[in-house]
Every structure is written in structure tokens, then in C-alpha cells.
Chains A and B, each alone.
Chain A
């Protein structure tokens, strides 16, 4: 997973290229979706979930470049710009003492 600065610093874009990867497929199906930097990450996750048929993803986490991000915050608030590949999936369940 990576974030890349693809815009020149002297003319910052207000958009970000986003791709959501899950074990049920990726959204968009090819390339990236151009979305506003100030948009909550949740919006893209909901679109991806709808397209990929994920009906209940409560408890899933979103990770970009190895760092968990907050879907309730915007890309900007999550410190993202340029391009974000979001690894979206379930957390581990179970566990406990042996």
C-alpha cells in the first residue's frame, strides 16, 4: 500500500485518487476513483461495499500504507494526498488465554 504525491506542491489538488482493495474484489474495478480530499473516507468504503456486495462490514478496518486510518475523517484529516490504496477488511476475531 502506498501514498504518492502526484501533484506539484505549488498547485495542490483538492482531489485524491482512491482504490479500495478487499478480499472480495477491488473498487473501482480498474484504475482509481478521483474523490474530494475533504470527503470522508467512509463514502468510498460504502461505495466499494455496495459494488462488491458487502452487506455488513461493521468492525472492518481501513489501512493505507500500513497505517490504520479513520473512515469518519476525510483523506486530508487522515494525512493522505495524491493517491491512496485502501486495504479494507475484517479484524481478527477470537483469541484468548490458552
Chain B
């Protein structure tokens, strides 16, 4: 997909996020300059987390997802438990911990999941950028605080 088309889809997804929803969920849009989308998650009793999406070539390709401290630096402790979406072991390709979930680039390029193509998901509701952030957020709510 060409860069202008990716940018248009990126901006459409960001624009459709109601501010009231962000506030209710404790999300903070830290950066939304294509191709980067940074969303901070906050919830009482939990250590805040920053989800960084690299949306290069969106949505021909799923975003690469990184989990960071709220400051944007590395986490002192990678999330564990919950439904197992957060993998603290090194990804065989990227060599860093990753999010194992359809819709993350790291999932689709993982040797265990290469048969599960992004094309199976990309046009489904819940797999736009807001939907993907929602899924990671729900997973985060279930890991150890």
C-alpha cells in the first residue's frame, strides 16, 4: 500500500476514537504522528504502560507493537500472566519480548503463526487501530498489576 493511502487509513482510525472513550478507559494518546501511535494505559492499582505501534504500511501489514514504560523507556518488568498475550521471552526474529496476538506484526511473522495470515483479520471489525489497542488493553488489564 502506498504511503498516502496508509496515512489516510491511519488518520481515519485515530479520528474515529471518541475522546470520551479514551477518558473512560484511562487511555492517553501520547503520539499519533504517522506511522507512530503511542497510547498510554493507566488504571488505579496498576503500573502504567505505553503501547507503541509502528504503523508503517498500514493496513497491508499489521502494526509492530512494543510495550514500554509510560516514559517511553524500557519496562523494568515485562507483563506476565493473564491470557498469555505478553511474551517475555525473545521473539525468534526481533529478539525482544513481544505481544503474541493476531494483529501484531510480531505474531504474524513468528514461525509458529506464519500460516495465520494478517489477511484473515485486516478487514474485520476489531482489527482497526482502535480495535487492536483495545485488545492489548484488555489483555493488560488481566496481567499481574
Contact = CB atoms under 8 A, between A and B. Distances in A.
Interface string B50-84: 00000000000000000000000000000000111
Given A56-B125, A57-B125, A98-B88, A22 B101 contact: no
A98 B87 CA distance: 6
A19 to B, nearest CB: 8
A1 B21 CA distance: 9
Contact of B16 (A24, A59, A98): A24
B125 A92 contact: no
Interface in A65-97: 85, 87, 89-97
Contacts of B129: 23
B135 A92 contact: yes
Interface residues of A, number: 25
B90 to A, nearest CB: 10
B125 A95 contact: no
A55 B127 CA distance: 12
B21 A90 contact: no
21 contacts: A22-B18, A23-B13, A24-B125, A26-B21, A56-B124, A56-B125, A57-B125, A59-B126, A87-B24, A89-B134, A90-B134, A92-B85, A92-B138, A93-B135, A94-B85, A94-B104, A94-B107, A95-B82, A95-B139, A98-B88, A98-B89
